[in-house]
Amino acid sequence: MSFEHLNLDERLLKAVEACGFQEPTPIQQQAIPVILDGEDLMGSAQTGTGKTAAFVLPILHQLLQRKPTKKSIGPRCLVVAPTRELAQQVEKDVTAFSKFIKCPQGSLVGGVAYGPQIQMLKRPVDVLIATPGRLLDHMGQGRLDFSRLEFLVLDEADRMLDMGFIGDIRRIVAAVPEQRQTLLFSATLEGQVLRMAQSFLKDPESIQLTSNVKKHEQISQRIHWADDATHKHHLLAHYVKTEDVTQAVIFTATKRGADALVSHLQRQGNEVAVLHGDLKQTARKKTMDQMHHGKIKLLVATDIAARGLDFKNLSHVFNFDLPNTAEDYIHRIGRTGRADATGTAISLVCRKDWDALVSIERLTGQKLHRDLIEGLEPRSSEPKTRSTLGNAGRSWKPRRRGGSLMRRRRR
Ligand code: ADP
Ligand code: MG
């Protein structure tokens, strides 16, 4: 199937071509016709499968097709996303796809000055992309007029729930017109996300392309059992030196852990940057740009920073610490193996990560491959009882990897 079959405006097709997209991804093939039909939609598909274009293109098409219903300068389309990086990613896509049309857009995200945002809101805007907190700030000051709003998109809805935004989303939904088309995207459509979708969407179509989601089949995943943090440092150093890591994100549990790891890696002579919630927006943006341009090989990040990250050449994701929730694990490793690329996700697991490992394996229904590096074998071993997967892992044997460089014993 080609984009031509989707009945999109010529100018949008031209922009799609300029982006170098050859054919629509499965979620795009399925979602675009539904959205063009004016239906509410809840969609789930693996991260990196092109959900952004799946909603941006048909929305832009409809904005081109019809005149605004009311005389107002307020947004005709509001996209709400959990983090500023993610909002910026959506903004970038809207800019790219509206290359050949007139579609004023703006964003309201936290961590940046209010002034320019206030100025932006005084001019007509068609597509507004926002994170919940900052949007509500502006709404509270009466700066938003939603009278001509036609589209509401809740992107990464599961993540917004994880981040405790449910009350914020309710307030936002309550403030926009009843008469609208609502789209919700999420990595999964279960539990609370599903209930949220049912309360905010009208008779929605549902598209779930999650069969491979949880497995992330294009991503090779493995874990190393580690004795302690020192052991983790040795394992990571081995990988950074020996595997063909072109570019990697290394996740830590805390900001402090991230800073400490950065110092550690720098001392070993690596070029490394850090991304976490304490950084000023300008510093974050600089780091993101440097990653995009391949100027930095290693990026240490916390979960908050994970969502919007989209680096084309990311070969590896390392979990220096496992995340607290299995969903976060899925999101983290989804940073690599984007679109058609393959990627590698390596997790360093010690005693304190054990519970997290159990819940990840339960959620994915998959036992992660245990790997060993010669000379860097753990002294301790994993707890024996694996209540989650029963005997599924019994026949498993560790794969030994050649480690001539590391033959020297660590201790
Ligand atoms: P998701 O929201 O599902 O995680 P994104 O919309 O961020 O995924 O898209 C992931 C990557 O795939 C982006 O770099 C995007 O430019 C690219 N992409 C999207 N659609 C296509 C397509 N049809 N062909 C090629 N690349 C695409
Ligand atoms: Mg997305």
Q: Quick one: pLDDT at residue 393? A: 33
What is the extent of the structural domain holding 42? 3-208
Residue 375 placed within a domain = yes
State the ligand closest to the CA atom of 19: 1
Count the Cβ atoms, other than its own, within 10 Å of residue 304: 17
Q: Where are the alpha helices (DSSP H) in 214-349?
A: 229-242, 255-267, 281-292, 326-333
Q: Quick one: pLDDT at residue 217? A: 67
Shared-domain flag, residues 118 and 239: no
Ligand 2 mean position, distance from CA 326 (Å): 18
Residues forming beta bridges with residue 225, ordered by sequence position:
349
Identify the domain boundary among 208, 241, 275.
208
Ligand 2 mean position, distance from CA 102 (Å): 24
Shared-domain flag, residues 170 and 270: no
User: Which protein residue has the closest C-alpha to ligand 1 atom 26?
Assistant: 21
User: Which protein residue has the closest C-alpha to ligand 1 atom 22?
Assistant: 21
Q: Quick one: pLDDT at residue 239? A: 92
Ligand 2 mean position, distance from CA 52 (Å): 5
Q: Quick one: pLDDT at residue 340? A: 64
Ligand 2 mean position, distance from CA 77 (Å): 17
What CATH number is associated with residue 303? 3.40.50.300
Residues forming beta bridges with residue 275, ordered by sequence position:
301
Q: Where on the phi/psi map is residue 203: left (φ > 0), alpha (ψ -120 to 50), or beta?
A: left
Ligand 2 mean position, distance from CA 403 (Å): 38
State the ligand closest to the CA atom of 310: 1
User: Which protein residue has the closest C-alpha to ligand 1 atom 5?
Assistant: 50
Shared-domain flag, residues 234 and 191: no
Shared-domain flag, residues 279 and 191: no
Instruction: Say how far apart CA 223 and CA 321 lie, in whole Å.
Output: 11
43 lines ligand 1 (CB under 6 A): no
State the ligand closest to the CA atom of 29: 1
Q: Where on the phi/psi map is residue 259: left (φ > 0), alpha (ψ -120 to 50), or beta?
A: alpha
Identify the domain boundary among 208, 238, 266.
208
Burial of 52-75, coded b for 16+ CB within 10 Å and e otherwise, reads bbbbbbbbbbbbbeeebeeeeebb
pTM of the model: 0.62
Q: Quick one: pLDDT at residue 308? A: 64
Instruction: Say how far apart CA 189 and CA 186 lie, in whole Å.
Output: 6
Element (H, E) at 100: none
48 lines ligand 1 (CB under 6 A): yes
353 lines ligand 1 (CB under 6 A): no
State how many domains the chain has. 2
Q: Ligand 2 being an ion, which residues bring their Cβ within 5 A of it?
A: 51
State the ligand closest to the CA atom of 331: 1
Tell me whether residue 255 is exposed, middle or buried, using C-beta atoms within 10 angstroms of its C-beta: 0 to 12, 13 to 18, 19 or more. middle
CA atoms within 13 A on the CB side of 136: 14
Ligand 1 mean position, distance from CA 21 (Å): 9
**In the sheet where 127-130 sits, what is the strand order?**
105-108, 127-130, 77-80, 151-154, 181-186, 41-45, 205-209
Quickly list DSSP for 122-172. TS--SEEEE-HHHHHHHHHTT----TT--EEEETTHHHHHHTT-HHHHHHH
Shared-domain flag, residues 50 and 172: yes
Shared-domain flag, residues 70 and 155: yes
Rg (the chain; Cα; Å): 22
Shared-domain flag, residues 157 and 18: yes
Cβ(206)–Cβ(40) below 8 Å: no
Instruction: Write out residues in the chain with pLDDT < 70, as ranges.
Output: 210-217, 243, 305-308, 338-340, 365, 385-411
Ligand 1 pocket test: pick from 21, 92, 158, 218 the residue with the most ligand atoms within 8 Å of its Cβ. 21
Return the residue matching tokens 């459509």. 189
Cα dihedral sign, 257-263-269-275 = positive
